[in-house]
Every structure is written in structure tokens, then in C-alpha cells.
Chain A
Amino acid sequence: MTSMSGAEAIAAQTDYLAEFRIGSEPYYRPVGQEIALFDAAYQARMPIMLKGPTGCGKTRFVEHMAWRLKRPLITVSCHEDMTASDLVGRYLLDADGTVWHDGPLTLAVRLGAICYLDEIVEARQDTTVVIHSLTDDRRILPLEKKNEVLPAHPDFQVVISYNPGYQSVLKDLKESTKQRFGAIAFSYPEPAIEAEIVAREAGVERRIADTLVRIAQRSRNLKGHGLDEGASTRMLINAGLLAAKGIPLADACQVAMVLPITDDPELRDALTAAIAACM
């Protein structure tokens, strides 16, 4: 059995870490207190939950914060089939025998990165419990397979994202998981700010961005009345990107919003009519 000491691993992986550093400032338009809040939470190394609907800027925000705090950022998109080993790491076979391979979480713990677990509820509950010991004052990660207990690097922090509108009874965070986190609420920014973001990210005129935001509000009114979720900022940007390529706005909205968001023909009709009212 071969294994590296922690120091060896760091030596071997310093280059590896470089790819997780964020070089230039990711554009993020502050919406409220979130930057100050996150800053303070990071100083206390408090685990943070970013709560809000999909596509409202959570991922972009962590990227921005990692850049601001000059920490590497390791992002994991959670999914149903993810196991604890996928996060922590596992032995793999090679020609000479077996070799331990750090998972992304372990890597972040060792090297002092921010570990961002995106859409954490998608992972099964027995997977997510591995973060428990990292999110209380122990700040350790037991690597059971390796018989090792890894103390977290002082710079390490866990951030998770969580979409409250999403989960069913079957898919929710355990109470014991939830209670370890501080939370920052995200929602779609107010119209003027959202339009500013859309105009910049999609490269469209402000006038078009304003219209797109108006359209988004129409779809968000249907949340809970046929739609699980209204059109996200991301969808608006997508529509804007198409419009910037010369696609008429109404068509761009069909492609980027109406068709992806629902399969119900009546709702599509209603949305299409509402979109017409916005232009």
C-alpha cells in the first residue's frame, strides 16, 4: 500500500491548485449586503448556505467572493448518484498497486480552498453527512478508507447552494445539516439592477434588457400557478444573447424562455401573449 503524507501531497498538487485560482475579477453586481455578509462569515470561517432560485447569481457570487478573498475555489455540482467517495476520494488501482486519490472536498480541506457544493439537495442525504465534521468546530475530515483524520486548512470554507422552491419531501436537507450553516438569501435582483446585469452580460441595449426583465416578471407571476419557477436571470441573458445576434426578441424569448420553461401548451400560449404585452 502506498500513500503520500499530507506535505507530499501538497507538494505534488501545488500546480493542480493553480487551476482553481481565479485570475481576473468575475463580474458581480451587488444586490444588497451580500458581499459584506459573506466577508464577515468567511473571516469566522462560518459555513454558508446561498439560498435562492436557480440562475439568480449564486455561482457567480461565490466566484466573485473567492476572487475577492484571493482563495482558490473548488466547485462540485451535486447529483443524485454522487457518493461520499466522490467527494472525499478513493483508492484507485494502478500498475504498482493501489493509489489514493483525493476527492474535491479533501483537496479543498488540505489546501485551504473554498469548497462550493452546488445544488446540494440533489445529492443523497447519506452523501452529504460527510461535511458534518467540517462544519462544526472540529473542522476535520475523517478519511475512513485511509485511516486518517485530516484537519482543515485554516483558510478552508464550505459554501453550499440550496434552492428552496425545489425539493420534495424526498429531497431535502437533513435538519442536522441545515443547522450548521449561516444563510444568505438570493432572489432575482430588482428590475433596474437585473436589467443592468442582463445588458452587460448579454451585450444588449438597456432598452432591450428592460423589456426582458419585464417579461421575466410576467413569468415569475406564474410561479406556483403552473410554473415551478419563473424565468431566471440566466434565461434572460440567454434570450439577450440571441437578440444580440439579430434574432427578433419575440423569437429569442421563445427559444430561451417559453419553450424551456414549460411543456404545457396552454401556459406557453399564456406566456407568449404576456410577452407580447411587454413589447
Chain B
Amino acid sequence: MKRTGAQIIWESLVREGVKYVFGYPGGAILPAYDAMLDYPIHHVLVRHEQGGTHMADGYARAGGGVGVAMATSGPGATNMITGIATAQMDSSPIVCITGQVPSKLVGYDAFQETDVTGITLPITKHNYLVTDVRDIQHTIREAFYIARTGRPGPVLVDITKDAQQASADFEPDTSPIRLPGYRPDLRPLTADMHTAAELIREAERPLILAGHGVLMSGAMRELREFAERTRTPVAMTLLGIGCLPASHPLNLGMMGMHGEAWVNNAIQQADLLLAFGMRFDDRVTGNTKTYAPNAKKIHIEIDPSEVNKNVKVDVALIGDLRETLGQLLPHLGHCDHSEWLEYIDEMKGDTAVRDIQSLPDSGHLYAAHVINDLWRFTRGEALVVTDVGQHQMWEAQYYKHETPHSHITSGGLGTMGFALPAAIGAKFARPEAEVWAVAGDGGFQMTAAELATAAQENLKVNVAIINNGYLGMVRQWQEFFYERRYAATPMRSPDFVKLAEAHGLTGIRVTERSQIEAAVRQAEDTQGTVVIDFRVEQEDSVYPMVPAGADLHAMIRRPKPSVLAETAADR
């Protein structure tokens, strides 16, 4: 069979099981776009290539498999950078296909030529420049294989226009992929396994730190089994949320900069930390010199370069988390640890009275209330995609996620503008899910153009804008560390209700707590995408907070409310 390079691209994507491509056309990718119409793949026309990469990312994180984004050379490709870096930092499997100027012109600063493989080299798991039609099939196969195996990540394939136009014999290749330098199937050493089991048996105050790796390797059952059998409490990273039901008695909640005090104090006082698929990011450790000083540390991790990078550990088990836990479990008996668990419970009680939920209901709309009510009225069943800022932390604190893959956010890169496009991608992956994007007034405006994509696709996502009139998280730092000098953080925004309506979508404004339920119900009952503008308290702050680089136990605590007034239903 003779096929053009453009056709081979789509043949290959179909063979990888790709159903959606999030893209934007242009000159250098035009041959591929022309061939697209003949293949059973739905192309989603995004409004900015960054949005396309976030959609692919959200699609992958929601469980759709490898997400695919496409763009033209030069500006199309450079617009993808933020989304690629976001996927890289959070190990999200996406494949980006970019057009490149004809190979004869590469290196001559041709119109819309950019060294895309050069630019993306440090922010991809791997990338390729393809100049020969005969290399397209195996390169795309390798790209998908690399993106989804081992520690997943973004792979970019840059294909010159002449390679897309040229023809070659095409036979579908199904041979196993062999890359001499790529060995994603690492296993821990048996001796280390035994050492780990011994440390676990000896521990009196053990704690599990559950990260994104639990979700990525699908180790939810093993984690739960481990925690229950050894009676070990579980703290989660931001990206680990959902790996154990929030209501599980051993689930402590989120750790780190905005983790609850009892969680961070438990980490500091533990005698054994079990790091499952997490990488001791500075946002979860605080000052590493004083981090968990009395704890032995066991790190189960798929990427050897993460071991001993930020925190020195006593035992490292390199390998897939699910498999490794599966092998470790038979070595472990039942433990008690009731003293330790009771102690943590006591710390918890002390913190609960400081909770914002305990504030008197003054009629003001607090972001925490919005999130809490959103959780109640969506029965905790929504797939929530958050942006970056205060609202992101409040969501992590107050939306109690019961199921895996129900919380998607940009953790490592902290990319504002992520929520709406990632939510759109997530909805394509899980059409049956009730998808909510929760964004700040600032971040929403960074990719708000993707409302038009949702409208064109007749896609239903709900958007909750936590509108505080500020770049809130930065304002909070200015309040705490820069003497309230609010440089460039007050933000005037367009009328979000009208903005939604201008897209032919529904907009709702909420200014009082009593309006939340009706708004959420209306959003759920409306067919198309709905935008809710929640006008919340402007100078509210996220507590507790570990200042950057401070000791994990040195938290700025919530101010203690003087009056405790609350309705039982809010608990």
C-alpha cells in the first residue's frame, strides 16, 4: 500500500486507539489536516494551542489514555510550550504532533521555522524530528510507547512538511518496540524488599505519603490494603487526592504548604515515612533540613532519578508502585498503632475549631463555603478540575474526593489557565462524568477563549469562577510577607455572566451563600456549558500555611474564631 506521510500519521493514530485530537491548523501541518477528513478521529478545534495541550493533558489524567495535541510550526508549536511543561511536571502522557517547515529549509530561518525539538528538549520525556516519510510510523509508535510507559510524560513529534507530502509503502507495524536505552520495567531488589518489610514491622509511628504515582499506576486497592492491614494513616500530596476515599478513617488529607496542621505535624513526628509515588517536592517538605527528622524513609518510586534527590531515604524500591506493593504485602502482618492514631486524632480536634467552616455565617460569601456546598450539592461525585491559586487550595481542602481520578490540577508547574481546557479534555474522556472547572478570576481569563471550543463542541462542563477581584494567592503572599503592598494583584474582570452569554452559554451570578444550591442545580440541569460567577470575600486567605522554605511544622495557623456558629448540615 502506498500512503502519504500525512495519511500515515492518521493511520498510526487510529492504530494507537486515538479518538480525539485537540489541535489548530497552519501551513506546515496542512497536509496532515487535509488527510484527517478520511479517518475516524474527531478533531477538536481549540482557540489557542496551549488550550489544546491542556485538553490532551486533562483527557489523559481523566483516564482517556494518551492525549493528543496537534499544531503547526513556529508560533503554533511555541504556543504549546506551557502545556507541555505542565504535562512534564505532572507526568501526564500526551503526544504532541507539530508540523515543521520542509526539510530543505530547516536551518535557514524559513517562514514560521522554530527549533521546536530544541526548545522542548528539557520539557519533554523525549522528542523527535522526522524528515523522512519512512520514519513516521515507527516514530509515532515509539512516541506513544514512551509517553505511556514507565514514568509517563509528554512526547513531541515534529514532522517536516515534505515528509507529510511524500509517499511510501505502508505496512502496519506490530512488532514489539525496542529501544536499547529505555527500560521502563525496573524491579526492586529482593534484599531491599526485606529491609523495607522489617522497617515497617518495627515502626511505631508510620505514615504513608501517597502521591500521583498511586493513581498513575492504579495502586488504589494495594494502598488501601496496605494502610488497613498495617493500620498506617495516609497523607496525600495535592496530586494524590482521590487515591483513598476522603471518608476513609485512615485518610488524613493533604500534606504540605496548605496541608492541615495535624497532617504536617504527624509527618514531623513520624518514625517511618512510606513515600508511595511522590517526589518530596519543596511544596510538601518545607525545609528539608528539618523535615521528618526522626523518620526512617522508604521510597517506592518508578523513576530512579527521584530517589535521594530532595530527601535522602533509607530504602528505595524502584519499580511500578502497584506491582511493588503487591510484592511487599505478603511480607506484612497486621499492626495496631492505636496510640499513634489516637494521638493524631487529638491534633485533629484542636484544628477543627479553627476551620473556616466554623465561622459565623455572616451572609458573606466565602470561597471555602462555595467549595463545601459544591461538594454537598454534587454529592461529592463531580470530577473537579482546578486552576492555580487560592481556590485550588480551598478545593483541595474542602471538596472531599471519594473516588480516584476525580481531582485534576496542575501541581508541579502550577499553571494558571489550566482548569477550563483540562476540564474540556476530561469531559471528552469521561462524557458520563459531571465535570466542574473551578478557577480563579485571574486564571480563568488566561484561557477563557476555550469557552468557544466548548460551545462549538456542544460540550457540557460547568465552570465555577471563584471571583475575589484579586490574583488572590499572590495577594495573600503580599499580605503575609510584603506588608500588604498589593502590587499588580487587584484585578478588574469582565462581566463573566455576559461573557458566557456572548458564547451562547449560560451565566449565573452568586453573591450570597443561600444562592449556591440553586445555582449548582441550575448548572446541573442545563444542557450546555454553564459559567457561575461566585463573588466571594476579597481578602480571604488560605490557612494553614507553611511559608516557602520554612520548617513544615512552622505553620501560619488559622485565626481562632471567637464565636462558633454553624449549622449542623455544614459539617
A binds B: no
Q: Which residues of A contact B (CB under 8 A)?
A: none
